[in-house]
């Protein structure tokens, strides 16, 4: 497993990847810490909002911040990401307003950002389906001639995010087949958080997940998913390979889901607390903070400023979430088809009248 920072925050040399980390400025290194802290604070606020009845559901990323921030910051502007419903950290790195992530879970929209503006697809609820979308998009990038041109502003890579449980889905297997056969510029980024809802890894596979890539004809690699530097370096290397026509890579980020699968789940029913305690000592933020402190890259003033910013972010997210307007009920008919359709038009007209009849009854 590739690791550049030990759980104690000590630098682990790696001749192949050291140069990638060395290219990061002190400002960029501090920026990674800021990302980790703010993403965690947003996630905690969203969880609290759900518990208070303001969101219908929430999928927490607690413990997976380094896997998401490290990979998200490795992308270039023109790269395109296809997430699941848990990639809040990647969304942050792609410039998506955190409050926009809450709309779907609050039931007021289907995703509050423009995917083509952010190069970050809308959240996908169907397990594994986004890997097909990513592979198809990557094949399109090939056919558009936006791979291997040598132009850093043009050459494009695609990254598909999914969990360990999704590797048991046929969609993922089909995606790996198409990507391998077509040498597509896509990185399959698997966040192995040890649990597919209530099913542990040993009930899903007998071999490490990254070994699967070999059977489809392209390389795989396992990285410490709680090590933001290692994730950044490994993902950057894989994305660079994709952009230069070297084909796909399977990255297994070995991490842990500290909380529940979603807020409708109770993990105490299927895993022991001792396991969670072990992973608490591998916390990605504390590990990185120790290294920044030891190397003198960041000081107390910096950490205090980030903590203060996190508090402000939490308050802003709460305020703006509670003020999100409810949609017009008839909007559900607007995007059923790409173009206007007579059937949905009639249904919308009928529903508008039906809905208005309740208001008339109340006014009487």
- Residues serving a catalytic function are 257, 261, 270
Listed in order, strand segments (DSSP E) in 124-232 are 158-163, 186-192, 195-196, 199-200, 220-224
Burial tier of 173 (Cβ tally within 10 Å: 0-12, 13-18, 19+): middle
- Collect all residues with Cβ–Cβ distance below 8 Å to 10 and sequence separation of at least 6: 291, 294
Residue 19 host element (H or E): helix 18-22
Distance CA 151, CA 275 (A): 47
CA-CA distances (angstroms) from residue 303 to 17, 65, 280? Answer: 27, 17, 20
N-terminal to C-terminal alpha carbon distance within the chain = 70
For 245, the token pair is 């026509």
Three-state DSSP class for residue 355 = helix
Pairing of strands 249-254, 186-192: parallel
DSSP letter string, 73-108:
HTS-TT-EEE--S--HHHHHHTT--HHHHHHHHHTS
For 63, the token pair is 């413990």
Whose tokens are 């926009």? That residue is: 100
Distance CA 11, CA 288 (A): 10
What angle, 0 to 180 degrees and rounded to 10, lies between the N-to-C axes of helices 65-73 and 284-295?
60
Q: Are 70 and 231 contacting, i.e. CB atoms less than 8 angstroms apart?
A: yes
For 270, the token pair is 């299927």
Q: Are 184 and 139 contacting, i.e. CB atoms less than 8 angstroms apart?
A: yes
């Amino acid at each position: 497993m590739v690791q550049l920072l030990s759980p104690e925050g000590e630098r682990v040399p790696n001749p192949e990847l050291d140069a990638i980390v060395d290219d990061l400025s002190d400002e960029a290194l501090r920026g990674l810490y800021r990302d980790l802290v703010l993403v965690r604070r947003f996630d905690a606020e969203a969880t609290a909002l759900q518990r208070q009845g303001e969101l219908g559901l929430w999928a927490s990323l607690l413990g997976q911040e380094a896997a998401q921030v490290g990979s998200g910051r490795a992308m270039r502007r023109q790269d395109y990401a296809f997430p699941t419903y848990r990639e809040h950290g990647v969304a942050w790195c792609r410039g998506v307003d955190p409050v926009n992530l809450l709309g779907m879970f609050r039931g007021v929209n289907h995703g509050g950002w423009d995917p083509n503006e952010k190069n970050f697809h809308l959240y996908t609820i169907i397990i594994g389906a986004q890997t097909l979308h990513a592979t198809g998009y990557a094949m399109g990038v090939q056919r558009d001639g936006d791979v291997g041109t040598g132009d850093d502003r043009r050459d494009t890579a695609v990254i598909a995010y999914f969990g360990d449980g999704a590797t048991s889905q046929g969609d993922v297997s089909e995606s790996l087949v198409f990507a391998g056969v077509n040498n597509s510029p896509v990185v399959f980024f698997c966040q192995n958080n040890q649990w597919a809802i209530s099913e542990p890894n040993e009930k899903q596979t007998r071999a490490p997940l990254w070994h699967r890539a070999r059977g489809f004809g392209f390389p795989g690699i396992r990285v410490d998913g709680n090590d933001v530097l290692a994730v950044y370096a490994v993902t950057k290397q894989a994305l660079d390979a994709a952009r230069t026509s070297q084909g796909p890579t399977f990255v297994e980020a070995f991490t842990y889901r500290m909380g529940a699968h979603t807020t409708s789940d109770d993990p105490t029913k299927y895993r022991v607390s001792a396991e969670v305690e072990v992973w608490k000592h591998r916390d990605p933020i504390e590990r990185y903070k120790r290294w920044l402190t030891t190397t003198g890259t960041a000081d107390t003033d910096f950490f205090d400023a980030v903590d203060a910013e996190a508090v402000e972010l939490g308050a802003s997210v709460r305020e703006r979430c509670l003020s999100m307007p409810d949609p017009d009920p008839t909007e559900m008919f607007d995007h059923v088809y790409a173009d206007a359709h007579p059937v949905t038009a009639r249904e919308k007209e009928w529903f508008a009248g039906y809905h208005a009849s309740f208001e008339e009854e109340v006014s009487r």
